[in-house]
Amino acid sequence: MPEPIIFAIPKGRILDEALPLLAAAGIEPAADFFDKKSRALVFGTNQPHISLIRVRAFDVATFVAHGAAQLGIVGSDVVDEFGYSELYAPVDLGIGHCRLSLAGPAGSAPPGLGESHIRVATKYPATTRRWFEGQGIQAECIKLNGAMEIAPKLGLASHIVDLVSTGRTLIENALEEQKIISEVSARLIVNRAAFKLRSAEVPALVERFREIVGQGDAAA
């Protein structure tokens, strides 16, 4: 028997939207996946050769890039932040829509060309630095994994770069969206080596997801 295909899916905002796509692809998690008391991270499915792992979004990319999982679902924000050469992101799944934005204190002006340096709190230091370099500004990035919105109030940073959906959290913390850095949606990601070495299984799964989201004619 070949080793099972490991499919990494993220905890959090994308999960609920990803489950119907998995079902449409014929992959249904075992009952214990839905047990809120379970601390398990690996789950069987109705497909004997496919197992699911449920991990943090940033870890989905790492598991797939290093070959511990063959496929995964994760936001394009994570794909862009890591830039793993081992990842192939062939399908925009059309779910998990939001945006990665620069935000600052309400009523303040966004950083301008006259500024040479800015301190930013963010979960996305690589993406943030690249974007500010394109504006001719050097960004000192303070890496935070959460509670970004309080950083300007406490003097840790003048601005933040974070995901924005409705903008309500920004408003409640006296911040406002100033610039959109990128539009974000969830992608199907694949380990490049697995795509070649498991050519009887992995490419067929990729094509199945393409068909589900109406990208069946897209180039591989």
% residues pLDDT > 90 (the chain): 83
Options 2.120.10.30, 3.90.580.10, 2.40.37.10, 3.40.190.10; CATH for 98-183 is 3.40.190.10
Q: Which residues contact 95 (CB under 8 A, 6 or more apart)?
A: 14, 17, 18, 21, 185, 186
Weakest mean pLDDT among 1-10, 18-27, 64-73: 1-10
Angstrom distance (rounded) from CA 178 to CA 92: 26
- Do 5-96+185-212 and 98-183 have matching folds? yes
Q: Which residues contact 15 (CB under 8 A, 6 or more apart)?
A: 9, 54
The confidence score (pLDDT) of residue 220 equals 39
Angstrom distance (rounded) from CA 216 to CA 11: 27
Render pLDDT for 150-181 as a digit per residue (tens, 0 to 9). 999 999 999 999 999 999 999 999 999 999 99
The confidence score (pLDDT) of residue 113 equals 54
Confidence of residue 78 (pLDDT cuts 50, 70, 90): very high
Give the distance, in angstroms, between the CA of residue 85 and the centroid of all CA atoms in the same chain: 16
Please identify which residue in the block is written with the tokens 């991270």: 41
CA angle 28, 34, 40 (to 5 degrees): 100
Render pLDDT for 86-139 as a digit per residue (tens, 0 to 9). 999 999 999 999 999 999 999 988 887 567 789 999 999 999 999 999 988 999
Angstrom distance (rounded) from CA 72 to CA 79: 11
Fold of the CATH domain 5-96+185-212: D-Maltodextrin-Binding Protein; domain 2 (3.40.190)
Angstrom distance (rounded) from CA 181 to CA 191: 27
Q: Tell which residue, 8, 55, 51, 5, has the closest CA to residue 28.
A: 51
Listed in order, strand segments (DSSP E) in 27-130 are 42-43, 50-55, 71-75, 87-92, 98-105, 117-122
Q: Mean pLDDT of all residues in the chain?
A: 92
The confidence score (pLDDT) of residue 216 equals 56
DSSP three-state, residue 15 = helix
Domain locations along the chain: 5-96+185-212, 98-183
